[in-house]
Amino acid sequence: MSEIEITVKTIYSFEKYLGGKKSQKILLKSDSTVMDIIDILTSVYGKTLRDKLIQDGRPARGMVYLLNGRTIMALDGLETKVDDGDEFIVMPPVGGG
C-alpha cells in the first residue's frame, strides 16, 4: 500500500508534547484519517500526548484541530480523511485581544 506524507504543526506552549518540534513530517498509509495521525504521534510521544488530544474517544475539549486550515469539527471529526501533502495543526484555543 502506498504511503502519504503529512505535515504536523503546533505552536509555542504545546510543542513540548510533540518532541519540542513546531513542525514535523509523518508518513501514513494512504486512506488514513486524522485518528491515524494521532495514533502515530501517540506511538512516538506517548500517553501524555494522547490524554491531551483524546477524551472519551472524541477530540479533547479545549484543543484546536485544523486540517489544511479548516477545523475538523466542521468536517468528519477524527474520521476526516487525509491526503498526501496535507497540513495538520493541533494547538490550544488561544484567542482574545
In the complex, the residues that contact another protein under the rule CB under 8 A are 9, 11-14, 52, 60-66, 69-75, 87, 89, 91-97
Least distance from another protein to the Cβ atom of residue 59, Å: 8
Estimate to the nearest angstrom the gap between the alpha carbon of 95 and the chain centroid: 20
Other beta carbons less than 10 A from residue 16's beta carbon: 13
* CB environment 60-91: b (16+ within 10 A), e (fewer): eeeebbbbeeeebeebeebebebeeebebbbb
Least distance from another protein to the Cβ atom of residue 44, Å: 21
Toward another protein, which CB reaches closer, 26 or 89? 89
Toward another protein, which CB reaches closer, 11 or 30? 11
Grid cell at residue 69: 486550515
Report the C-alpha gap between 43 and 50 in whole angstroms.
Answer: 9
Least distance from another protein to the Cβ atom of residue 96, Å: 5
Least distance from another protein to the Cβ atom of residue 53, Å: 10
Toward another protein, which CB reaches closer, 12 or 57? 12
